[in-house]
C-alpha cells in the first residue's frame, strides 16, 4: 500500500458501482509517510486523468481467514443477482485477488496528496499504485461492454428536503441517490433504505422512477 482514499463513503452501501467522470464527489488520495515524496509526483499535474490500482479491503480481510476462498462464477447485481457469470467477465470484488482498477479525474495536488473526482472507493481503501491515464491507448469508444451494456440503469428523480445538510454534501447525496444504490433485485416501494455519507444517515424509499428522501440525520 502506498496511499489510502479519504472521502465521505464510510459505508459500502451507496458507493458508485463504477467510476464516473461527471461525479462531483471528491476523494483525497493520502500517501503514507514512506511514499509522501514530492519528487514522486513531479509532472503528474500535466495529466487530466489517472488510474488507481487498489484493494477491495473489506473482501480481502474476510478472505484472508479462509485459504482459497473464491468462486469461478459470481452473481452480478445488474443481472438481478440470480444469474451466474464467470468472475473474469465481471467486476465483482469476490475474485482470486481482490484488486480494483479505477480511472479518476485529477483536480489538483494539495500538500503532497492528490485530489480526484469520480472514484468508486470507500473511505480508507488501500491504494497500491497510481498511473497516468493515456487517452490514445486507454480509450476505446467502440468497445463492446457485454451484459453491462444491456442492463444500464436509468437515473432516478430525487425528491425531499435537505434540511440543514451543507449544500456540497447534499449535492453529493443527490448524485449518489440518482444512481439508485439499492440492490438491483430489490424493488419494494414500501421498503425504506438507509445510507451513510459524510457524517449523515439518509433514509429513503423508491417508487418507480422516483426516490423520496424520508429523513436525514447527523450520525
How many domains does the chain divide into? 2
What is the chain's percent helix, strand, coil content, to nearest 5? 20, 30, 50
d(CA 133, CA 139): 9
| Cell 433514509 found at | 203
Which residues pair with residue 52 across a beta bridge?
Answer: 102, 130
- CATH assignment of the domain containing 25: 2.40.30.70
Query: Is 64 a residue whose pLDDT tops 50?
Result: no
In this structure, the answer to whether residues 15 and 44 fall within a common structural domain is: yes
Instruction: Look up the domain containing 175 and give its range.
Output: 153-218
pTM for this structure?
0.88
In this structure, the answer to whether residues 173 and 200 fall within a common structural domain is: yes
In a domain, 102, yes or no: yes
Largest CA distance in the chain: 55
In this structure, the answer to whether residues 118 and 173 fall within a common structural domain is: no
- ∠ CA 191-125-19, nearest 5°, is 65
Q: For 158-204, what is each residue's pLDDT tens digit?
A: 999 888 999 999 999 999 999 999 887 778 899 999 999 999 999 99
Q: What is the DSSP string of 10-43?
A: -SSTT--SS--TT---EEEEEEPGGG--GGGGTT
In this structure, the answer to whether residues 160 and 132 fall within a common structural domain is: no
In this structure, the answer to whether residues 120 and 163 fall within a common structural domain is: no
In a domain, 26, yes or no: yes
Amino acid at each position: 500500500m502506498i496511499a489510502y482514499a479519504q472521502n465521505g463513503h464510510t459505508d459500502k452501501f451507496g458507493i458508485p458501482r463504477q467510476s464516473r467522470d461527471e461525479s462531483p464527489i471528491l476523494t483525497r488520495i493520502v500517501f503514507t509517510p514512506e511514499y509522501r515524496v514530492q519528487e514522486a509526483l513531479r509532472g503528474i499535474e500535466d495529466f487530466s486523468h489517472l488510474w488507481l490500482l487498489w484493494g477491495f479491503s473489506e473482501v480481502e480481510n474476510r478472505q484472508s481467514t479462509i485459504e482459497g476462498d473464491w468462486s469461478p462464477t459470481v452473481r452480478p447485481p445488474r443481472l438481478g443477482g440470480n444469474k451466474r457469470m464467470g468472475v473474469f467477465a465481471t467486476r465483482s470484488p469476490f475474485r482470486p485477488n481482490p484488486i480494483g482498477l479505477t480511472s479518476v479525474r485529477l483536480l489538483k495536488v494539495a500538500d503532497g496528496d492528490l485530489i480526484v473526482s469520480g472514484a468508486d472507493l470507500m473511505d480508507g481503501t488501500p491504494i497500491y499504485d497510481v498511473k497516468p491515464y493515456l487517452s490514445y491507448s486507454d480509450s476505446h469508444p467502440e468497445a463492446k461492454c457485454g451484459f453491462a451494456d444491456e442492463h444500464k440503469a436509468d437515473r432516478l428523480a430525487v425528491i425531499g428536503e435537505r434540511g440543514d445538510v451543507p449544500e456540497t454534501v447534499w449535492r453529493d447525496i443527490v448524485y449518489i441517490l440518482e444512481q439508485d444504490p439499492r440492490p438491483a433485485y430489490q424493488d419494494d416501494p414500501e421498503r425504506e433504505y438507509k445510507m451513510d455519507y459524510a457524517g449523515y444517515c439518509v433514509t429513503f424509499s423508491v417508487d418507480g422512477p422516483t426516490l423520496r428522501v424520508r429523513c436525514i440525520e447527523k450520525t
